[in-house]
Amino acid sequence: MSLEGLELGEAGASGDRAAGRREAIRTTVAGLHAELVRYGLVAWTAGNVSGRIPGEDLFVIKPSGVSYDELNAGNMVVCDLDGDLVEGEHAPSSDTAAHAYVYRNMPDVGGVVHTHSTYASAWAARGEAIPCVLTAMADEFGGEIPLGPFALIGDDSIGRGIVETLKGHRSKAVLMQNHGVFSIGKDPRAAVKAAVMCEDVARTVHVARQLGEPLPIPQDDIDRLYDRYQNVYGQRSPR
């Protein structure tokens, strides 16, 4: 093979790998939307999942206004980190600017989820953080699930509120006041897990509140639980 041919071959192979990564994230993100439905976190077309494409300043997100049972890898859309459409036939989700702001400002985040799940949004409607009164909360969120600011859609306000609240915070979920939940993770699946767990503890703490005041967990016990769950619990990753 000529040198030119070899170089073209290498460029083609790396292009194939990049295309393969994009396709894998499209498939993952499309499939994870079914989890939002399965766990009862969404109504109609509200809610969305996105996933960063490794090695590129791009992410995959749900198209706007397409019903959950019509979502598939092919109709997911690809946006750059300014939230502008790069690939796809549909307009991106109306929450794309918020997702893009998070990816721009939190380089370790590989997945973002937004829902209006009922119990968590009820806490958001009251403008109240969910206090850490369950060991499951200490495990997963390392403390309370914080409240973010009231912010209107249309510019960077929501994204800024998410990043300002979650940067340096243990919690991977934030209750945006009067709105709903944004959750983050190292990948889209982890962000979906945080959204599911957020709604689960929001419901339990709400129920606990009906008959009295839930008991707080001492901070040093929260710290111990969080450390154990994050570092010891579960299957060791083969990596």
- Tell me how far, at minimum, the Cβ of 160 lies from Zn ion, in Å: 15
Site string for Zn ion, 158-187 (x = CB under 5 A): ----------------------x-------
- Tell me how far, at minimum, the Cβ of 161 lies from Zn ion, in Å: 12
- Tell me how far, at minimum, the Cβ of 185 lies from Zn ion, in Å: 18
Residues catalogued as catalytic: 114, 116, 139, 179, 233
Which residue has its beta carbon closest to Zn ion? Answer: 180
Pick between residue 109 and residue 151 the one whose CB is nearest to Zn ion. 151
Pick between residue 134 and residue 175 the one whose CB is nearest to Zn ion. 175
Pick between residue 22 and residue 62 the one whose CB is nearest to Zn ion. 62
Pick between residue 42 and residue 129 the one whose CB is nearest to Zn ion. 42
Which residues, listed in sequence order, are joined to residue 83 by a DSSP beta bridge?
A: none
Measured CA to CA, the distance from residue 172 to residue 198 in angstroms comes to 9
Site string for Zn ion, 184-203 (x = CB under 5 A): --------------------
Q: Which residues lie near Zn ion (CB under 5 A)? A: 180
